[in-house]
Structure 1
Protein backbone atom coordinates (compact mmCIF):
# COMPACT_ATOMS: atom_id res chain seq x y z
CA UNK A 1 0.00 0.00 0.00
CA UNK A 2 1.66 3.20 -1.20
CA UNK A 3 -1.17 5.72 -0.64
CA UNK A 4 -1.01 7.08 -4.20
CA UNK A 5 -4.31 5.78 -5.57
CA UNK A 6 -5.91 9.20 -5.22
CA UNK A 7 -3.19 10.66 -7.48
CA UNK A 8 -3.71 7.79 -9.91
CA UNK A 9 -7.45 8.50 -10.00
CA UNK A 10 -6.85 12.18 -10.70
CA UNK A 11 -4.34 11.34 -13.43
CA UNK A 12 -6.81 8.98 -15.12
CA UNK A 13 -9.51 11.65 -14.92
CA UNK A 14 -7.15 14.22 -16.49
CA UNK A 15 -6.31 11.83 -19.34
CA UNK A 16 -9.96 11.05 -20.00
CA UNK A 17 -10.89 14.74 -19.99
CA UNK A 18 -8.05 15.56 -22.38
CA UNK A 19 -9.05 12.72 -24.70
CA UNK A 20 -12.68 13.83 -24.65
CA UNK A 21 -11.66 17.36 -25.68
CA UNK A 22 -9.44 16.00 -28.45
CA UNK A 23 -12.27 13.81 -29.74
CA UNK A 24 -14.54 16.84 -29.93
CA UNK A 25 -11.99 18.75 -32.02
CA UNK A 26 -11.24 15.75 -34.22
CA UNK A 27 -14.93 15.17 -34.91
CA UNK A 28 -15.52 18.85 -35.67
CA UNK A 29 -12.87 19.10 -38.40
CA UNK A 30 -14.07 19.21 -42.00
CA UNK A 31 -13.56 16.15 -44.20
CA UNK A 32 -15.05 17.22 -47.53
CA UNK A 33 -13.99 20.21 -49.63
CA UNK A 34 -16.49 22.71 -50.97
CA UNK A 35 -15.38 21.81 -54.47
CA UNK A 36 -15.45 18.04 -54.94
CA UNK A 37 -12.71 18.32 -57.57
CA UNK A 38 -10.39 18.79 -54.58
CA UNK A 39 -11.56 15.59 -52.87
CA UNK A 40 -8.40 13.58 -53.62
CA UNK A 41 -5.88 16.33 -52.90
CA UNK A 42 -3.33 15.68 -50.17
CA UNK A 43 -4.78 17.87 -47.45
CA UNK A 44 -8.34 16.65 -47.84
CA UNK A 45 -7.18 13.03 -47.94
CA UNK A 46 -5.25 13.69 -44.70
CA UNK A 47 -8.31 15.22 -43.06
CA UNK A 48 -10.46 12.21 -43.97
CA UNK A 49 -7.80 9.82 -42.67
CA UNK A 50 -7.68 11.75 -39.40
CA UNK A 51 -11.45 11.40 -39.03
CA UNK A 52 -11.18 7.64 -39.62
CA UNK A 53 -8.29 7.35 -37.15
CA UNK A 54 -10.16 9.42 -34.58
CA UNK A 55 -13.22 7.19 -34.87
CA UNK A 56 -11.04 4.09 -34.53
CA UNK A 57 -9.28 5.25 -31.36
CA UNK A 58 -12.65 6.13 -29.87
CA UNK A 59 -14.22 2.80 -30.76
CA UNK A 60 -11.41 0.37 -29.98
CA UNK A 61 -12.04 -1.73 -26.93
CA UNK A 62 -10.29 -1.07 -23.66
CA UNK A 63 -7.92 -3.68 -22.32
CA UNK A 64 -9.66 -4.71 -19.14
CA UNK A 65 -7.35 -7.58 -18.28
CA UNK A 66 -5.78 -6.73 -14.96
CA UNK A 67 -3.67 -9.29 -13.12
CA UNK A 68 -4.66 -10.11 -9.58
CA UNK A 69 -2.41 -8.08 -7.33
CA UNK A 70 -1.13 -9.32 -4.00
CA UNK A 71 -1.53 -7.15 -0.97
CA UNK A 72 -5.24 -6.59 -0.67
CA UNK A 73 -7.86 -4.24 -2.01
CA UNK A 74 -5.62 -1.15 -2.35
CA UNK A 75 -2.99 -3.04 -4.32
CA UNK A 76 -5.68 -4.43 -6.63
CA UNK A 77 -7.07 -0.91 -7.10
CA UNK A 78 -3.55 0.32 -7.88
CA UNK A 79 -3.13 -2.36 -10.56
CA UNK A 80 -6.52 -1.50 -12.07
CA UNK A 81 -5.79 2.23 -12.06
CA UNK A 82 -2.43 1.68 -13.74
CA UNK A 83 -4.13 -0.37 -16.47
CA UNK A 84 -6.82 2.27 -16.99
CA UNK A 85 -4.13 4.96 -17.02
CA UNK A 86 -2.28 3.19 -19.84
CA UNK A 87 -5.51 2.94 -21.83
CA UNK A 88 -6.46 6.59 -21.32
CA UNK A 89 -2.89 7.82 -21.76
CA UNK A 90 -2.45 5.96 -25.05
CA UNK A 91 -5.80 7.21 -26.37
CA UNK A 92 -4.86 10.79 -25.48
CA UNK A 93 -1.47 10.34 -27.16
CA UNK A 94 -3.03 9.05 -30.38
CA UNK A 95 -5.77 11.69 -30.22
CA UNK A 96 -3.16 14.44 -29.91
CA UNK A 97 -1.24 13.04 -32.84
CA UNK A 98 -4.41 12.96 -34.96
CA UNK A 99 -5.33 16.49 -33.87
CA UNK A 100 -1.90 17.83 -34.84
CA UNK A 101 -2.17 16.16 -38.26
CA UNK A 102 -5.59 17.75 -38.69
CA UNK A 103 -4.22 21.17 -37.81
CA UNK A 104 -1.48 20.77 -40.41
CA UNK A 105 -4.02 19.71 -43.04
CA UNK A 106 -6.30 22.62 -42.17
CA UNK A 107 -3.39 25.03 -42.58
CA UNK A 108 -2.83 23.41 -45.98
CA UNK A 109 -6.50 24.06 -46.87
CA UNK A 110 -6.08 27.74 -45.94
CA UNK A 111 -2.79 28.13 -47.86
CA UNK A 112 -4.28 26.40 -50.90
CA UNK A 113 -7.33 28.67 -50.81
CA UNK A 114 -5.06 31.72 -50.75
CA UNK A 115 -3.08 30.41 -53.71
CA UNK A 116 -6.22 29.62 -55.72
CA UNK A 117 -7.89 32.89 -54.71
CA UNK A 118 -11.34 31.55 -55.58
CA UNK A 119 -10.15 29.98 -58.81
CA UNK A 120 -9.02 26.56 -59.86
CA UNK A 121 -5.55 25.06 -60.29
CA UNK A 122 -3.85 26.19 -63.50
CA UNK A 123 -0.36 26.31 -64.89
CA UNK A 124 0.32 29.72 -63.29
CA UNK A 125 -0.22 28.46 -59.75
CA UNK A 126 1.03 24.87 -60.17
CA UNK A 127 4.41 25.49 -58.52
CA UNK A 128 2.81 27.30 -55.56
CA UNK A 129 0.36 24.43 -55.10
CA UNK A 130 3.21 21.93 -55.29
CA UNK A 131 5.09 23.90 -52.61
CA UNK A 132 1.93 23.91 -50.49
CA UNK A 133 1.74 20.10 -50.77
CA UNK A 134 5.42 19.78 -49.89
CA UNK A 135 4.95 21.98 -46.83
CA UNK A 136 2.08 19.74 -45.68
CA UNK A 137 4.25 16.63 -46.07
CA UNK A 138 7.07 18.32 -44.14
CA UNK A 139 4.73 19.33 -41.31
CA UNK A 140 3.21 15.85 -41.11
CA UNK A 141 6.69 14.32 -40.95
CA UNK A 142 7.43 16.27 -37.75
CA UNK A 143 4.40 14.78 -35.96
CA UNK A 144 6.16 11.75 -34.55
CA UNK A 145 5.26 9.65 -31.54
CA UNK A 146 8.44 10.83 -29.81
CA UNK A 147 7.57 14.50 -30.36
CA UNK A 148 3.94 14.07 -29.31
CA UNK A 149 4.94 12.16 -26.17
CA UNK A 150 7.51 14.79 -25.19
CA UNK A 151 5.19 17.71 -25.88
CA UNK A 152 2.38 16.17 -23.83
CA UNK A 153 4.75 15.44 -20.95
CA UNK A 154 6.05 19.03 -21.02
CA UNK A 155 2.48 20.32 -21.03
CA UNK A 156 1.46 18.06 -18.13
CA UNK A 157 4.46 19.19 -16.08
CA UNK A 158 3.68 22.84 -16.84
CA UNK A 159 0.10 22.23 -15.64
CA UNK A 160 1.45 20.75 -12.40
CA UNK A 161 0.02 17.31 -13.09
CA UNK A 162 1.28 14.16 -11.38
CA UNK A 163 3.33 12.27 -13.98
CA UNK A 164 5.32 9.92 -11.76
CA UNK A 165 3.73 6.72 -13.08
CA UNK A 166 3.03 7.75 -16.66
CA UNK A 167 3.44 4.91 -19.12
CA UNK A 168 6.58 4.93 -21.23
CA UNK A 169 6.41 5.74 -24.92
CA UNK A 170 7.23 2.11 -25.59
CA UNK A 171 4.19 0.99 -23.54
CA UNK A 172 1.98 3.46 -25.38
CA UNK A 173 3.20 2.24 -28.77
CA UNK A 174 2.62 -1.39 -27.75
CA UNK A 175 -0.92 -0.51 -26.65
CA UNK A 176 -1.59 1.28 -29.95
CA UNK A 177 -0.13 -1.57 -32.03
CA UNK A 178 -2.39 -4.05 -30.24
CA UNK A 179 -5.45 -1.90 -31.07
CA UNK A 180 -4.47 -1.60 -34.74
CA UNK A 181 -4.14 -5.34 -35.14
CA UNK A 182 -7.39 -6.10 -33.30
Structure 2
Protein backbone atom coordinates (compact mmCIF):
# COMPACT_ATOMS: atom_id res chain seq x y z
CA UNK A 1 0.00 0.00 0.00
CA UNK A 2 1.33 3.42 -0.98
CA UNK A 3 1.97 6.02 1.68
CA UNK A 4 0.96 8.88 -0.66
CA UNK A 5 4.17 10.84 -0.07
CA UNK A 6 5.76 10.39 -3.48
CA UNK A 7 4.68 13.88 -4.65
CA UNK A 8 6.44 15.35 -1.58
CA UNK A 9 9.52 13.27 -2.33
CA UNK A 10 9.50 14.48 -5.94
CA UNK A 11 9.19 18.11 -4.84
CA UNK A 12 12.01 17.67 -2.31
CA UNK A 13 14.33 16.21 -4.93
CA UNK A 14 13.52 19.13 -7.25
CA UNK A 15 14.32 21.65 -4.48
CA UNK A 16 17.62 19.97 -3.70
CA UNK A 17 18.67 19.79 -7.33
CA UNK A 18 17.76 23.44 -7.81
CA UNK A 19 19.84 24.41 -4.77
CA UNK A 20 22.75 22.32 -6.08
CA UNK A 21 22.53 23.93 -9.51
CA UNK A 22 22.66 27.40 -7.93
CA UNK A 23 25.67 26.41 -5.83
CA UNK A 24 27.44 25.05 -8.92
CA UNK A 25 26.89 28.37 -10.67
CA UNK A 26 28.54 30.27 -7.81
CA UNK A 27 31.37 27.74 -7.47
CA UNK A 28 32.16 27.94 -11.18
CA UNK A 29 32.08 31.76 -11.16
CA UNK A 30 34.69 32.21 -8.42
CA UNK A 31 38.20 33.29 -9.41
CA UNK A 32 41.02 30.73 -9.29
CA UNK A 33 44.07 32.80 -10.22
CA UNK A 34 45.33 36.06 -8.74
CA UNK A 35 46.15 39.13 -10.78
CA UNK A 36 49.66 39.02 -9.33
CA UNK A 37 51.42 35.75 -10.32
CA UNK A 38 53.57 35.94 -7.17
CA UNK A 39 50.44 35.14 -5.12
CA UNK A 40 49.54 31.99 -7.09
CA UNK A 41 50.77 29.56 -4.41
CA UNK A 42 49.45 31.45 -1.39
CA UNK A 43 46.97 29.68 0.88
CA UNK A 44 43.83 31.47 -0.24
CA UNK A 45 44.45 31.06 -3.94
CA UNK A 46 45.34 27.40 -3.46
CA UNK A 47 42.05 26.97 -1.57
CA UNK A 48 40.11 28.66 -4.37
CA UNK A 49 41.67 26.37 -6.97
CA UNK A 50 40.91 23.31 -4.84
CA UNK A 51 37.30 24.45 -4.46
CA UNK A 52 36.96 24.74 -8.24
CA UNK A 53 38.33 21.20 -8.64
CA UNK A 54 36.06 19.85 -5.90
CA UNK A 55 33.06 21.57 -7.48
CA UNK A 56 33.83 20.01 -10.85
CA UNK A 57 34.35 16.61 -9.23
CA UNK A 58 30.99 16.61 -7.43
CA UNK A 59 29.30 17.65 -10.65
CA UNK A 60 31.00 14.89 -12.65
CA UNK A 61 30.35 12.05 -10.19
CA UNK A 62 27.78 9.72 -11.60
CA UNK A 63 24.56 9.10 -9.77
CA UNK A 64 23.82 5.66 -8.39
CA UNK A 65 21.76 4.14 -11.19
CA UNK A 66 21.20 0.76 -9.59
CA UNK A 67 17.56 -0.06 -9.13
CA UNK A 68 16.72 -0.29 -5.43
CA UNK A 69 14.45 -3.02 -4.12
CA UNK A 70 11.07 -1.81 -2.96
CA UNK A 71 9.95 -2.74 0.55
CA UNK A 72 6.51 -3.70 -0.74
CA UNK A 73 4.67 -4.65 -3.91
CA UNK A 74 3.50 -2.28 -6.59
CA UNK A 75 4.73 0.59 -8.71
CA UNK A 76 4.18 3.21 -6.00
CA UNK A 77 6.49 1.34 -3.61
CA UNK A 78 9.11 1.00 -6.34
CA UNK A 79 8.83 4.72 -7.08
CA UNK A 80 9.21 5.43 -3.35
CA UNK A 81 12.42 3.37 -3.19
CA UNK A 82 13.83 5.08 -6.28
CA UNK A 83 12.89 8.55 -5.02
CA UNK A 84 14.60 7.89 -1.68
CA UNK A 85 17.77 6.89 -3.54
CA UNK A 86 17.65 10.02 -5.71
CA UNK A 87 16.88 12.13 -2.64
CA UNK A 88 20.08 10.91 -0.95
CA UNK A 89 22.11 11.67 -4.08
CA UNK A 90 20.65 15.17 -4.46
CA UNK A 91 20.93 15.92 -0.73
CA UNK A 92 24.55 14.82 -0.54
CA UNK A 93 25.50 16.81 -3.66
CA UNK A 94 23.87 19.92 -2.22
CA UNK A 95 25.65 19.34 1.10
CA UNK A 96 29.04 18.98 -0.58
CA UNK A 97 28.31 21.95 -2.84
CA UNK A 98 27.46 24.12 0.16
CA UNK A 99 30.65 23.05 1.90
CA UNK A 100 32.70 23.97 -1.18
CA UNK A 101 30.86 27.28 -1.52
CA UNK A 102 31.56 28.19 2.12
CA UNK A 103 35.26 27.35 1.72
CA UNK A 104 35.33 29.49 -1.41
CA UNK A 105 33.68 32.38 0.40
CA UNK A 106 36.29 32.17 3.18
CA UNK A 107 39.10 32.19 0.62
CA UNK A 108 37.56 35.15 -1.19
CA UNK A 109 37.37 37.06 2.10
CA UNK A 110 41.06 36.19 2.54
CA UNK A 111 41.80 37.79 -0.85
CA UNK A 112 40.13 40.99 0.33
CA UNK A 113 41.94 40.97 3.68
CA UNK A 114 45.26 40.36 1.95
CA UNK A 115 44.67 43.28 -0.42
CA UNK A 116 43.85 45.50 2.55
CA UNK A 117 47.09 44.53 4.29
CA UNK A 118 49.09 45.26 1.14
CA UNK A 119 47.37 48.61 0.59
CA UNK A 120 48.00 49.57 4.21
CA UNK A 121 51.71 48.83 3.88
CA UNK A 122 51.80 45.31 5.32
CA UNK A 123 53.96 44.02 2.52
CA UNK A 124 54.34 40.39 1.53
CA UNK A 125 55.80 38.90 4.70
CA UNK A 126 54.65 41.07 7.58
CA UNK A 127 52.67 40.22 10.66
CA UNK A 128 49.48 41.33 8.92
CA UNK A 129 49.88 38.61 6.31
CA UNK A 130 50.49 35.99 8.99
CA UNK A 131 47.29 37.04 10.76
CA UNK A 132 45.30 36.98 7.52
CA UNK A 133 46.58 33.47 6.73
CA UNK A 134 45.76 32.35 10.27
CA UNK A 135 42.23 33.70 10.00
CA UNK A 136 41.72 31.77 6.77
CA UNK A 137 42.87 28.55 8.43
CA UNK A 138 40.45 29.11 11.32
CA UNK A 139 37.54 29.77 8.98
CA UNK A 140 38.29 26.72 6.84
CA UNK A 141 38.59 24.53 9.95
CA UNK A 142 35.13 25.66 11.09
CA UNK A 143 33.49 24.47 7.86
CA UNK A 144 32.69 20.96 9.04
CA UNK A 145 30.13 18.46 7.81
CA UNK A 146 28.24 18.89 11.07
CA UNK A 147 28.07 22.68 10.74
CA UNK A 148 27.04 22.54 7.07
CA UNK A 149 24.38 19.89 7.73
CA UNK A 150 22.90 21.88 10.63
CA UNK A 151 22.91 25.12 8.60
CA UNK A 152 21.19 23.54 5.61
CA UNK A 153 18.64 21.81 7.80
CA UNK A 154 17.82 25.06 9.62
CA UNK A 155 17.47 26.89 6.30
CA UNK A 156 15.14 24.19 4.97
CA UNK A 157 12.99 24.37 8.09
CA UNK A 158 12.85 28.19 7.89
CA UNK A 159 11.75 27.91 4.25
CA UNK A 160 8.97 25.51 5.22
CA UNK A 161 10.37 22.65 3.14
CA UNK A 162 9.38 19.03 3.71
CA UNK A 163 12.35 17.38 5.44
CA UNK A 164 10.74 14.30 7.01
CA UNK A 165 12.78 11.83 4.96
CA UNK A 166 16.01 13.78 4.57
CA UNK A 167 19.06 11.57 5.00
CA UNK A 168 21.10 11.67 8.18
CA UNK A 169 24.53 13.25 8.31
CA UNK A 170 26.04 9.76 8.49
CA UNK A 171 24.28 8.75 5.25
CA UNK A 172 25.49 11.95 3.56
CA UNK A 173 29.06 11.34 4.70
CA UNK A 174 28.90 7.74 3.48
CA UNK A 175 27.69 8.96 0.06
CA UNK A 176 30.51 11.54 -0.12
CA UNK A 177 33.15 8.95 0.80
CA UNK A 178 31.83 6.59 -1.87
CA UNK A 179 32.18 9.33 -4.51
CA UNK A 180 35.77 10.26 -3.73
CA UNK A 181 36.92 7.46 -6.02
CA UNK A 182 34.86 8.73 -8.97
Which TM-score applies when normalising by structure 2?
Answer: 0.96
- After superposition, residues 53-64 of structure 1 pair within 5 angstroms as 53-64=54-65
Offset at residue 66 of structure 1 (A):
2.7
Alignment coverage as a number of residue pairs: 180
Query: Counterpart of 1:61 in 2: which secondary structure?
Result: coil
Range with greater deviation from structure 2 (62-71 or 150-159): 62-71
Distance in 1 of aligned mates of 2:65 and 2:159: 29
Which residues of structure 1 form unaligned runs of 5+? none
Matched, 1:14 2:15: yes
Distance in 2 of aligned mates of 1:127 and 1:118: 12
Residue 41 of structure 2 corresponds to 40
Distance in 1 of aligned mates of 2:105 and 2:47: 10
Which residues of structure 2 form unaligned runs of 5+? none
Which TM-score applies when normalising by structure 1?
Answer: 0.96
The one-character-per-residue Cα deviations of 1:123-169 (angstroms, maximum 9, x if unpaired) are: 5xx10000000000000010000000000000000000000000000
Contact 2:68/2:85 (<8 A) preserved: no
Residue 158 of structure 2 corresponds to 158
- After superposition, residues 17-166 of structure 1 pair within 5 angstroms as 17-69=18-70, 70-117=72-119, 121-122=123-124, 126-166=126-166
The one-character-per-residue Cα deviations of 1:1-20 (angstroms, maximum 9, x if unpaired) are: 10000000000000000000
